[in-house]
Amino acid sequence: MIKIVKGIIFVTLIVNIVGCASYYSHYGSFSAQNSKGEERKFVVSWKTAEYPSWAIQDNQATEFVLETQCSERKWALADLSTDQNECTEAHEGIVACGNKTMDLSLSGRPLPDDKNVCVSVTDNQQATKIVDLESRVLISVSCLPVATTRKEEGESVNMDYLKASVVPYSVATRKVERYSFADKAPLMSSKICEGDK
């Protein structure tokens, strides 16, 4: 009887250590203007691993990615629990800092360093971690690109991104089981991009 009880305790501990996570993908898309004032589609995405309340592990999330139609520039936002870097250590919440060689402040001035927040995300509950984001997110952009294109191997590459705004962009997102039939990021057509080169 003692061996059976010990066995049950051991199995329970193993299950708690390993956990039984549910894996989800989160997507959203919206139309807005880039910094040049062109109407473009934007896609946001992130992934989560969610554990039962009895599990030892905390829920986990990947970076929150913001993509711009026709552009190679992607913003990867993080919080301190998803990525420890100079930006997340210097600022609370879900943030991405600019690059002083690629970005300008909202007033059009050079960034003093690479610790200046350019994009941040939260929701109506003021979430400060990606794993806590609800289905409607609020995206704030406070930087401008130094240049909307750059030359790479003789080719002009678009580097534009979401237009800065004092009012956050409100974006509805969808949560789906990872690897399911519905696990597909919204598509962004490239036909509109032909004049960007």
pLDDT at 195: 61
Dump pLDDT digits (tens) for 138-178: 999 999 999 999 988 888 999 999 999 989 999 999 999 99
Give residue 121's pLDDT band: very low, low, confident or very high (50, 70, 90): very high
How many residues comprise the chain? 197
pLDDT at 2: 60
- 11 vs 168, higher pLDDT: 168
10 pLDDT more than 60: no
Dump pLDDT digits (tens) for 75-111: 999 999 999 999 999 999 999 999 999 999 999 999 9
pLDDT at 16: 45
SS (H, E, C) 39-83: EEEEEEEEEEEECCCCCCCCCEECCEEEEECCCCCEEEEECCCCC
pLDDT at 153: 81
